[in-house]
């Protein structure tokens, strides 16, 4: 590795282990992609926003590794994370007569990464792929751990597969082109790691939130590395979310309901998760697990990160009922019971059901 590669974080999954490579100016360096599976062809999957910015550099970096490099530009946005768009990837693979050794490169945010990973898991029953995330949220969460999926109108990420990439390339330089709203959305997933697993990290985020919003290089490098380290540990213990990994969904049960209820893309995923964390924290307080002071501190931090802390009204007649109906379709629901990730104490989380009346009261309290 050359000096431009700052650090690596290892995802330890036996024969499916891989590295998350974190540093500045990685995306366009040929050395970044050494020792990947050999193939005659690669397919770069990107979107109409990211491709003009970074595709040429990635294609040049891959030129020495693959004889042929195909490209595909998907429409941008969560609203396009569906069967129709996924099929464009299969059309490209089949149209170019790609084989089972063809390597897919996901160049974009979480939507591109999830769909490219799902396509890689499905095409010819599995081809290798590499994550090259270009949003903060994707670098610290969705690109790591092998969750791939598309949305269904009744639920987010309901159709997909666990399928690990060969490598994740987190080029911190690309974060400089993100609009402030996207940075804030990524900060939600960074903040998430503190209450569920690492309160010293939470304290650090609290003290550096302004630097993170400004994408200050040293602060951002630490936040991305630490987030990846926490997720790497959790995924290494529980790859398929049979137990521990479920805590990474803190805020997501409420958040996914917001996304589905408003229509995918109306709120960014990180915005919905940030608001969902506030709601989950209030539910944790109602269950007697944390005090009001911690709920307020978390709420204040999310607000300082530029995230919404009041949930939207999804149904004027029965808002709580609409939330509950949507949450029943969440992947974490078991035998008709909605499962929530609750804060059992600062830095510790658990998955639990909660009384419906209590959930309704929290929704009523937390929605604008």
Q: Which residues are catalytic?
A: 125, 147, 189, 231, 241, 245, 249, 252, 256, 269
Other CB atoms within 10 A of residue 76 CB = 18
Please list, residue by residue across 172-208, b when 16 or more beta carbons sit within 10 angstroms of its beta carbon and e when fewer do. bbbbeebeeebbbbbbbbbbbbbbbbbeebbebbeeb
Q: What is the helix (H) or strand (E) element at residue 171, kind and residue range?
A: strand 167-171
- The answer to whether 315 touches 309, Cβ cutoff 8 Å, is no
Closest CA to 64 of 92, 95, 31, 94: 31
Per DSSP bridges, beta strands 348-352 and 147-152 are unpaired
Closest CA to 188 of 248, 270, 293, 133: 270
With tokens 């940030």, the residue in question is 274
Q: What is the DSSP letter of 142?
A: I
Query: Helices in the chain by DSSP H: which ranges?
Result: 51-62, 83-95, 110-122, 136-137, 180-197, 199-213, 217-237, 252-262, 269-286, 292-304, 319-327, 356-366
Q: Whole-angstrom Cα distance, residue 52 to residue 235?
A: 33
């Amino acid at each position: 590795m050359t000096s431009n590669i700052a650090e690596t974080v290892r995802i330890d999954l036996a024969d499916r282990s891989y590295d998350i490579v974190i540093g500045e100016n990685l995306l366009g360096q040929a050395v970044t992609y050494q020792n990947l599976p050999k193939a005659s062809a690669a397919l770069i999957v990107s979107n109409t926003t990211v491709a003009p910015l970074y595709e040429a550099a990635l294609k040049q970096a891959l030129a020495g590794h693959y004889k042929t490099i195909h490209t595909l530009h998907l429409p941008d946005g969560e609203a396009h994370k569906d069967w129709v768009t996924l099929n464009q990837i299969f059309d490209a693979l089949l149209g170019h007569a790609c084989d089972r050794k063809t390597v897919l490169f996901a160049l974009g945010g979480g939507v591109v990464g999830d769909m490219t990973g799902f396509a890689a898991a499905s095409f010819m029953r599995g081809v290798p792929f590499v994550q090259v995330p270009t949003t903060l949220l994707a670098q610290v969460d969705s690109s790591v751990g092998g969750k791939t999926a598309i949305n269904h109108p009744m639920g987010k990420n309901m159709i997909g597969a666990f399928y690990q990439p060969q490598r994740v390339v987190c080029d911190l330089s690309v974060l400089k082109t993100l609009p402030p709203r996207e940075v804030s959305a990524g900060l939600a997933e960074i903040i998430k790691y503190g209450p569920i697993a690492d309160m010293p990290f939470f304290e650090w985020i609290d003290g550096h939130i302004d630097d993170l919003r400004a994408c200050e290089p040293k602060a951002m490098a630490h936040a991305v590395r630490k987030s990846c380290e926490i997720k790497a540990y959790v995924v290494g213990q529980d790859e398929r979310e049979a137990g521990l990994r479920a805590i990474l969904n803190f805020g997501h049960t409420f958040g996914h309901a917001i996304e589905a209820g408003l229509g995918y893309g109306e709120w960014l995923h990180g915005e919905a998760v940030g608001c969902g964390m506030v709601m989950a924290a209030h539910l944790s307080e109602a269950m007697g697990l944390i005090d009001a002071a911690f709920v307020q501190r978390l709420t204040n931090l999310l607000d300082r990160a530029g995230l919404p802390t009041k949930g939207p009204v999804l149904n004027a007649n029965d808002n709580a009922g609409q939330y509950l109906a949507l949450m029943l379709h969440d992947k974490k629901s078991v035998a008709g019971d909605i499962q929530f990730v609750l804060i059992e104490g600062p830095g510790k989380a658990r998955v639990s059901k909660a009384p419906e009346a209590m959930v309704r009261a929290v929704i009523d309290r937390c929605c604008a």
